[in-house]
């Protein structure tokens, strides 16, 4: 939605007067490095151009009003500051902005007045593109700027969004998603070492190729599908620590893992540990390939990543595998893999510019014939992170 149109819609909804400010937070895609973050490894996401925008105005009381323009979402909620600690809305989108307010209050920040807010966006919900993290980062940024909350830097935006998601979003989440939404940079990926909490920007010179996100129409899985993965990684780590001096799985080299993997004594945990350790290595090598402009090698490692996610991690699904395998058949596709935590959501592909139309046409038709689902496509690019729209 154009920014001025959102301002006008806000005024229609809440009335004229006062200063209406606009804030934006993008979604993200993870290009490589899945299920390495909670094992102390590396990830390589980027923010994307699609995201969520909020129009906001200060109130003269302690009431917070939340509304959303998206069809099918609850349009309005009014809640006073003293009611916020008791608020729960199932798994609804309101949990995230209201949860941020609660998180800030519990952290001791002073919020002297309420706000009127209207949310709009072009970021698909349930597609594994971090709409929840975008909402959390967006709300935290707006609160920081409006209330003058000192001590919250850009990484702090991500940390508060992460804490809110863990408390109110119904799942244990890592720092990667909100960090990408907060610190994204145009035409750059974010190479994050989770163990050290250090990140650097790596230019993404795709030489005319585009990032194409394919939405499967299958909502990504809920936390109950991921909890066994955490447990298996913990089991593998504990067994490996009996014969090695490591703090996290990703501290172990692939050759050392192969020499001592039998100590795990669990086939599923061994395969998952293999994915985590090799995926961390792939992520480091793929970023090095990007640094020297070897886009084709980067794409090949995206493909290898998907195969491991499918065969070792078992977090893909039939629809996602089909989309990736169809992409691999199309000339001009340099790499394709699932993106996000898995069990649905989306794929991300690097597609040469002249092949984008063929990519959408062929994959859309094949997917419709196979599953009766119309896939959606986002031709996007690495984008800047959360910001105020001036």
Residue 82 is among the residues annotated as catalytic for this protein: no
Alpha carbons 18 and 309: distance in angstroms, whole number: 51
Catalytic residue among 34, 102, 165, 177: 177
B/e letters for 258-267, b = 16+ CB within 10 Å, e = fewer, are eeebeebeee
Instruction: Quickly count: other Cβ atoms within 10 Å of residue 181's Cβ.
Output: 34
Rounded distance between C-alpha atoms, residue 7 and residue 19, angstroms? 10
Q: Is the dihedral of CA 141, 40, 127, 209 positive or negative?
A: positive
Contact of 304 with 282, CB cutoff 8 Å: yes
Find the helix packing angle between 267-291 and 227-241, rounded to 10°.
Answer: 90
- What are 292's two structure tokens? 């020297």
Q: Which of 202, 200, 171, 165 is nearest to 187 (CA)?
A: 202
For residues 116 and 65, what is the distance between their CA atoms, to the nearest angstrom? 5
Question: Would you list the DSSP string of 268-290?
Answer: HHHHHHHHHHHHHHHHHHHHHHH
Greatest Cα pair distance in the chain: 69
Q: Which residues are catalytic?
A: 177
């Amino acid at each position: 939605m154009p920014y001025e149109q959102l301002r006008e819609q806000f005024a229609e909804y809440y009335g004229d007067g006062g200063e209406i400010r606009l804030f934006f937070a993008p979604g993200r895609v993870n290009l490589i490095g899945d299920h390495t973050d909670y094992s102390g490894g590396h990830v390589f996401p980027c923010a994307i151009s699609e995201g969520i925008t909020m129009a906001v105005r200060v109130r003269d009381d302690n009431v917070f009003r939340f509304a959303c323009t998206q069809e099918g979402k609850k349009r309005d909620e009014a809640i006073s500051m003293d009611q916020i600690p008791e608020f729960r809305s199932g798994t609804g989108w309101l949990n995230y902005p209201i949860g941020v307010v609660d998180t800030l209050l519990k952290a001791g920040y002073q919020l002297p007045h309420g706000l009127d807010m209207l949310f709009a966006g072009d970021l698909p919900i349930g597609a594994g593109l971090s709409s929840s993290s975008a909402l959390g980062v967006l709300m935290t940024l707006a609160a920081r700027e409006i209330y003058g909350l000192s001590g919250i830097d850009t990484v702090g935006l991500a940390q508060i969004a992460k804490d809110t998601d863990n408390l109110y979003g119904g799942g244990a989440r890592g720092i990667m998603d909100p960090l990408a939404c907060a610190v994204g940079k145009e035409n750059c990926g974010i190479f994050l070492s989770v163990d050290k909490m250090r990140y650097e920007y790596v230019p993404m010179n795709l030489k005319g190729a585009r990032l194409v996100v394919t939405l499967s129409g299958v909502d990504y899985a809920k936390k109950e599908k991921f909890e066994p993965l955490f447990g298996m990684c913990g089991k593998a780590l504990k067994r490996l620590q009996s014969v090695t001096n490591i703090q996290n799985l990703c501290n172990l080299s692939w050759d050392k893992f192969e020499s001592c993997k039998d100590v795990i004594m669990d086939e599923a945990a061994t395969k998952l540990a293999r994915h985590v350790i090799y995926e961390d290595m792939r992520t480091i090598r793929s970023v090095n390939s990007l640094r020297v402009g070897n886009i084709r090698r980067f794409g090949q490692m995206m493909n290898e990543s998907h195969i491991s996610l499918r065969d070792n991690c078992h977090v893909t699904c039939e629809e996602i595998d089909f989309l990736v395998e169809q992409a691999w058949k199309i000339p001009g596709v340099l790499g394709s893999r699932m993106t996000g935590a898995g069990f649905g959501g989306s794929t991300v592909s690097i597609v040469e510019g002249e092949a984008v139309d063929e990519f959408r046409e062929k994959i859309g038709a094949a997917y419709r014939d196979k599953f009766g689902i119309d896939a959606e496509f986002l031709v996007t690019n690495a984008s800047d992170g959360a910001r105020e729209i001036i």
